[in-house]
A and B are shown apart, each in its own frame.
Chain A
Amino acid sequence: MAEPKTKYDRQLRIWGEQGQAALEKASICLLNCGPTGSETLKNLVLGGIGSITVIDGSKVEVGDLGNNFMVDDSSVAKSKAKCVCAFLQELNDAVKAKFIEENPEALIETNPSFFSQFTLVVATQLMEDSMVKLDRICREANVMLIFARSYGLTGFVRISVKEHTVIESKPDHFLDDLRLNNPWPELKGFADTIDLNVTDPVVHKHTPYVVILVKMAEEWAKSHGGSLPSTREEKKEFKELIKAWMIAMDEDNYKEAIEASFKVFASRGISSSLQQLINDNCAEVDSSSSDFWVMVVALKEFIANEGCGEAPLEGSIPDMTSSTELYVNLQKIYQAKAEADCLAIEQRVRNILKKIGRDPDSISKTSIKTFCKNARKLTVCRYRLIEDEFNSPIQPELQKYLTDEDYSVAVGFYILLRAVDRFAANYNSFPGKFDGEMDEDISRLKTTAVGLLSDLGCNGSTLTEDLINEMCRYGAAELHAIAAFIGGVASQEVIKLITRQFVPMSGTFIFNGVDHKSQLLSL
């Protein structure tokens, strides 16, 4: 076996060893191993997922050879689950791969408790009534669930989890936590020891912008009754003041200070999204609360008390023009404050745990540290039950989608993807399955879609003939490229859910393979 660290190097750089460990512990169940399901698992097996269980009751047909890479000529008439499982095992011997030759729909009906053994279920190509049933089962058993479906040039991916909390959301662009306009005593003290009037040009051009801005912000506040630059004029003036300190054109530190001056203008205190999070109903904890919510309560207390309205300091600073000494010292000041804040949170966590009757040490120091470092970026995702979405979609959203040109094709596909299941339930076959019945199917599908729209409270809304025609043309084809796309999306979301890093998608992703104007619908 290859050194796993080398083999997984390119992904460890994204989710680290903790993320990798979470993947290696996870057990995934796949329902239906057509190309959509097979491709989803392929991406997970390559990344070293713990175990997979492939469930499919069908035999490989010649047609399957044209859209599924995991079966070949020798697979025809054999169990599809077995063949797909064998190929997947070949990709990575560290993964425990097994299969069950059984119809997933029958399994959902007859053995609901079967699913509780898994971390996550990937349900592909399921019909609506099975989706609803499986969703209830997984919600009850607290098993994460992802639906994925490819249908002609369209398809969807939908996560169903009651609640998914993310500490390490790792956003791309996030404002640094520098407290330039609200420095704590040590940072202010450090800035006070530095004189911007220094005459040595080398020293002058190596004063880090953090120090420059802390001093300038303080000066500004002093002369403006404690407030910061807020109007466009004031902001311009503030930048001019910084510029006036430059003694040479090549002083990158001052240029950086001007560029970073927006960090001074940012409001003090926590963001509205964090405010919302600490006011969440779940922030009333008891012995059954998750570690996440226990730590949120500690965070809430911290902000109200020793944090003085701020979250714990993140503790890292971006690279900036500076002498090594000043930079390293600055780094230490930020780190020390972050550690002190973390300690305060830890105290509170231990007390809360005691209060709710849990072992005070049951949340590790490392977890608390990670939590503190990411406190400003905490994210909670909640997903409606699929049954609720199907029966009572959020009306204002649905109306918006139906009338907004940017969404019209995506919402059209959404309605039609549901309509084809109704169609199949009524006529025992998907629309356009057989060449000879195209015209009849088009008008039947139209009637079905109109009926569905009216059931959803959208009387009078119609779909374009072009789209209905297109849906019939697809004849329930599962095209490889579409399946690979949908499977790729599904596997990426699985990784985010299992590693508990990055933010998973919200709503229903509707793939539009015609012009790629796909959309997320929040219904």
Chain B
Amino acid sequence: MADSTAQLSRSRDLDKLLLRSGHLVGPNFEPGPELRDDLQQYARVLVVGAGGLGCELLKDLALSGFRNLEVIDMDRIEVSNLNRQFLFRLEDVGKPKAEVAAKRVMERVSGVNIVPHFCRIEDKELEFYNDFSIIVLGLDSIEARSYINAVACGFLEYDSDDNPREETIKPMVDGGTEGFKGHAKVIMPGVTPCFECTIWLFPPQVKFPLCTLAETPRNAAHCIEYAHLIKWDEVHSGKTFDPDNPEHMQWVYSEAVKRAELFGIPGVTYSLTQGVVKNIIPAIASTNAIISAACALETLKIVSGCSKTLSNCLTYNGAEGLHTKVTEFVKDKDCLVCGPGVLIELDTSVTLQKFIDLLEEHPKVFLSRASVTHRGKNLYMQAPPVLEEMTRSNLNLPLFDLMDKIPKDIIHVTGTTSKSDKKMSCLRKLRVVFKGIDGVTDMDTAGGV
């Protein structure tokens, strides 16, 4: 009987979930010891970020049946991390977060292997990311999220009916916190909205108009930003401001104090100066724990099928009472990152010039002054002048030839479009299909990312 061994096994509790059948489970759930073993042997999880969320995620995943984990983070440990990044101690300050975090979890949870990567996420080959069953994001930057999202969505391929090919879907679980609030999101590229589909959820960062800083400062933050963005450059011509240099910060602080005195504005403190200049987001252990736990749980569910999954975004707010909410966001079907792109059928004789003209009229595109790129190669560029000149001769050539006679492929175009009388620059992903070409069964839609 499994009972007696289960009591002695470290997966005593997890086995209940993985070995027993249930009614509220994922469609592909196949309970049994093989599932537990597969999770240990074959599932590979990448944790992006080894900060407040990353430390928790590594622990949670290591105790959720995963044994092959990797973590990537470019930062080193700072004293102000210690109130929540529980894998770090005072003597670790200055060491790479990824390395220390990996080591600590391996020390405590035997059988787990964690490979740390102390580098920028952009430093890795794209194929590095394709190696994982799932990617879990514990980041505080929108740019980094966008990057990983674009990479994961780049692996996505669509079949000829515009349905995502299941084997190319790279699931992501994204977590984020601020103070007592946080979110956890499950992203199945091509199925549920990708990060870019719902980027509007992130409010734009408040930036003060320069004229306010220069002429009509009203509060302490205005005085600080004046010292940081205007006065620094006036005084230190050429020297870039380094927010991690305490002397630089001290200088900004004392200039801000002077300015505040001049205008009779109260409230400039060193702590506020740091907060404004570094755009510090308050962070606490408990919220990181909650959000990471939700992300790790969803990771386990997606990989094992042992339960239904979050569909698709959880928000948690503990600031006023306790509120949790699940929102099912919908995919932006025209999303340039995760969508299949707009389908355009062409004759093989159509020239690049004619193609560009056609985009201006196309009801789904409406793009004027288009620049065209195919698999990273510039076919025609409107600017700068040097590039325009270099690519001008392509305009009279058939697009089919320029695309190396590939019958179906992705083209990226940038140009301007008019939305309610406002001109906006935009990027579009197009699927170009040439009519009357035989032997076309497959297409590679991953090109160009």
Contacts and interface: CB of A to CB of B under 8 A. Distances in A.
A120 to B, nearest CB: 14
A159 B325 CA distance: 21
Interface string B274-297: 110000111111111110111011
A517 B3 CA distance: 32
B308 A514 contact: yes
Contacts of A47: 83-84, 284-286
B63 A477 contact: no
Interface string A477-506: 111111011011101110110000011111
Nearest to A486: B293
B283 A10 contact: yes
Nearest to B15: A477
B189 interface: no
Q: How many A residues are at the interface, by size bracket?
A: 35 or more
Q: How many B residues are at the interface, by size bracket?
A: 35 or more
B263 interface: yes
Among A63, A172, A323, A506, which residue has the most Cβ atoms of chain B within 10 A? Answer: A63
A448 interface: no
B314 A466 contact: no
Nearest to A63: B12
Interface string A35-49: 100010011101110
Interface string B196-211: 0000000000000000
Contacts of A322: 216, 218
Contacts of B217: 324
B63 A503 contact: no
B307 A153 contact: yes
Given A67-B13, A172-B319, A43 B289 contact: yes
A152 B218 contact: no
Nearest to B292: A484
B245 interface: no
B250 interface: no
A191 B209 CA distance: 26
Given A489-B290, A496-B318, A505-B321, A66 B84 contact: no
B248 interface: no
Interface string B1-40: 1110011111111101100111110000000000000000
Given A495-B284, A504-B321, A516-B326, A152 B290 contact: no
A50 interface: no
Given A62-B10, A489-B322, A504-B321, A480 B64 contact: yes
Interface stretch (A179-187, A265-273, A394-402, A431-439): A431-439
A39 B289 contact: yes
A482 B9 contact: no
Contacts of B20: 432, 435, 438, 473, 475
Given A66-B11, A328-B264, A480-B60, A13 B289 contact: no
Contact of A502 (B23, B86, B292, B320): B320
Interface in A39-81: 39, 42-44, 46-48, 61-63, 65-69, 72-73
B316 to A, nearest CB: 9
Nearest to A170: B319
Contacts of B319: 170-172, 502-503
B266 to A, nearest CB: 8
Contacts of A487: 289
Contacts of A72: 107-110
A8 B83 contact: yes
A324 B216 contact: yes
Contacts of B83: 7-11, 46-48
A61 B6 CA distance: 12
Nearest to A46: B285
B233 to A, nearest CB: 22
B286 A488 contact: yes
B79 A3 contact: yes
A67 to B, nearest CB: 5
A492 B292 contact: no
B307 A492 contact: no
Contact of A11 (B14, B271, B284, B308): B284
Contact of B82 (A46, A66, A479): A46
A399 to B, nearest CB: 23
Contact of A436 (B3, B82, B326): B3
B22 A473 contact: yes
B179 interface: yes
A165 interface: no
B27 to A, nearest CB: 14
A13 B282 contact: yes
A435 B11 CA distance: 15
B425 to A, nearest CB: 24
A55 to B, nearest CB: 21
Given A66-B9, A72-B108, A484 B293 contact: yes
A59 B337 CA distance: 52
A474 B16 contact: yes
6 contacts: A42-B285, A72-B108, A73-B110, A152-B17, A324-B218, A484-B60
Given A2-B93, A324-B265, 8 more contacts: A7-B83, A14-B180, A62-B10, A435-B6, A436-B3, A516-B294, A516-B326, A520-B321
